[in-house]
Amino acid sequence: MAGPAAGGAEREALRTVGALVGALPGIRSLYGGAVVVVAGRAVLAPGALGEAFAQDLAFLRYSGARPVVVHDAGAEPVRRAPDEDEGTALRTVAAGLVQRRLVGLVNAHGPLAVGITGEDGHTLTRTTSGDLVADPGVLRTLLDDGRIPVVAAVAQGEHGPHPADVVTTARLLAARLGARRLLLPPDAEGAGPTGTRLLDPSAPHALLRTLYELDTPPPGEARGDAAGRRALDGAPEGTGEGTTSGAGARKVRWAGRG
């Protein structure tokens, strides 16, 4: 006769299997498609949230999605030397410290992540008129090789590196890649293309929980707004034209962690 421990293990196994089966529609809708994610400060800092974010990225890649991460320096201070421009100082911190940390966390699950800046392959270029232009050629090469590009938002400018806004960068790259999903910070302004979500990274595994509609928080966490978690819309591949849709962005948040 099975004891209480065996019964508890059985319930936990069924709960895990149920979560995996429940994620199948989301996995199917994202299979083979790009998912562009802005990494917020919470996951760029050292700690458990960054580790959970890295696990989510690895899960997405191994389940057939093609994630692309865009980030800045997070909460790390960016200090300029007396003879240093702002873009160079940002690149030193974002690509030299923050990116190395995130890439290392992802690659603990296999040789997946490759860190670049927007300067590499002219992925991001700041024109003389001030416009930001995206060329996803390098990203497509990495994605086709099974990698996860981790892009520091630093553009190639006329006179060297130039800071680029992470939300603007993510929107441009998502449009050019025809991304199935675009995940932006909760404070992002303006509507996004179909498939846009607002991601609050202050809860563990918020990335997978948002994409796959896993709306039951772990024990000890408060439930968020259930109305904000309707079924994945299964948006088709984008056209790559960078247009926006009236569908706008959907906000998914969990309370209890800051």
Report the pLDDT value the prediction gives residue 4, as an integer from 0 to 100: 64
Report the pLDDT value the prediction gives residue 236, as an integer from 0 to 100: 34
| Pair of tokens at residue 245 | 């849709």
Radius of gyration of the chain (CA): 19
HSE at residue 178, side-chain half, CA atoms within 13 A, is 9
What are the pLDDT digits (tens) for 88-147?
999 999 999 999 999 999 999 999 999 999 999 999 999 999 999 999 999 999 999 999
What are the pLDDT digits (tens) for 36-61?
999 999 999 999 999 999 999 999 99
* Strands ordered across the beta sheet of 132-134: 132-134, 124-126, 154-157, 160-163
What are the pLDDT digits (tens) for 171-224?
999 999 999 999 999 988 776 677 899 999 889 999 999 998 776 444 334 333
| Pair of tokens at residue 152 | 């520091």
pLDDT higher than 50, residue 254: no
For the entire predicted model, the pTM comes to 0.80
Distance in angstroms (rounded) separating the CA atoms of residues 144 and 250: 29
Average pLDDT, rounded, for the chain = 83
